């Protein structure tokens, strides 16, 4: 996942909390358990925050980076409360190809990276967050894939919002945010790849 901090969707330039920001904090490329910027609201103010991409904060065997079933009690508890919703800003997101590719270099075949972008330079992704024993952790909400993403990842895609829906996600009722959990228009998206940066240095 790739994102960048800017003043977007009515947020101010300030950070709610600086958080631990050391040489492991990479705001350009987001990876599971890495720290990233999100937009959220607190006491009527909308601003940035820094969170770990794992809403359970290491409380499970694998990082909980995406959630789908908002009707499950665990996630409904967060989705019902505007204070536990956030926006994750991205410029692209990655899914790996279903099949491995032989690059003809005598090394084992590997899956390629497919990078998806939208008609928005920086696009808002619906997210949830909570405080954990290790600090604030966030997750992205997923939905059914559209026809561009489905051939690569048939199970789900991240919930990309139109700019006019950001206020609803951050302030709306539970039923209103569930209604936003739908695939983004494939006609407004492009994809590049496959690329193999770990093998060929391609970006």
Domain ranges of the chain: 35-200
pLDDT score recorded for residue 162: 96
- pLDDT tens for each residue of 132-181: 998 999 999 999 999 999 999 999 999 999 999 999 999 999 999 999 99
pLDDT per residue as tens digits for the range 35-66: 888 999 999 899 999 999 999 999 889 999 99
CATH for 35-200, options being 3.30.420.40, 3.40.50.300, 3.30.930.10, 3.90.1680.10: 3.90.1680.10
d(CA 182, CA 77): 20
pTM: 0.90
């Amino acid at each position: 996942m790739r994102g960048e901090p800017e003043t977007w969707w009515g947020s101010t330039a300030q950070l709610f909390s600086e958080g631990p920001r050391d040489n492991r904090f990479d705001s350009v490329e987001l990876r599971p358990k890495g720290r990233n910027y999100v937009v959220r609201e607190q006491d009527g103010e909308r601003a940035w925050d820094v969170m770990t991409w794992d809403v359970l904060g290491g409380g499970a065997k694998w990082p909980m980076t995406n959630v789908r079933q908002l009707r499950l009690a665990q996630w409904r508890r967060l989705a019902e409360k505007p204070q536990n919703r956030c926006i994750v800003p991205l410029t692209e997101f990655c899914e790996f190809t279903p099949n491995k590719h032989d690059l003809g270099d005598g090394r084992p075949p590997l899956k390629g990276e497919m990078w998806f972008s939208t008609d928005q330079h920086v696009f808002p992704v619906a997210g949830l967050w909570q405080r954990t024993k290790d600090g604030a952790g966030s997750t992205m909400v997923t939905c059914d894939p559209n026809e561009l993403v489905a051939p690569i990842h048939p199970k789900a895609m991240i919930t990309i919002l139109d700019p006019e829906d950001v206020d609803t996600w951050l302030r709306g009722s539970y039923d209103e945010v569930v209604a936003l959990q739908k695939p983004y228009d494939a006609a407004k998206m492009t994809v590049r790849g496959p690329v193999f940066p770990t093998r060929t240095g391609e970006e």
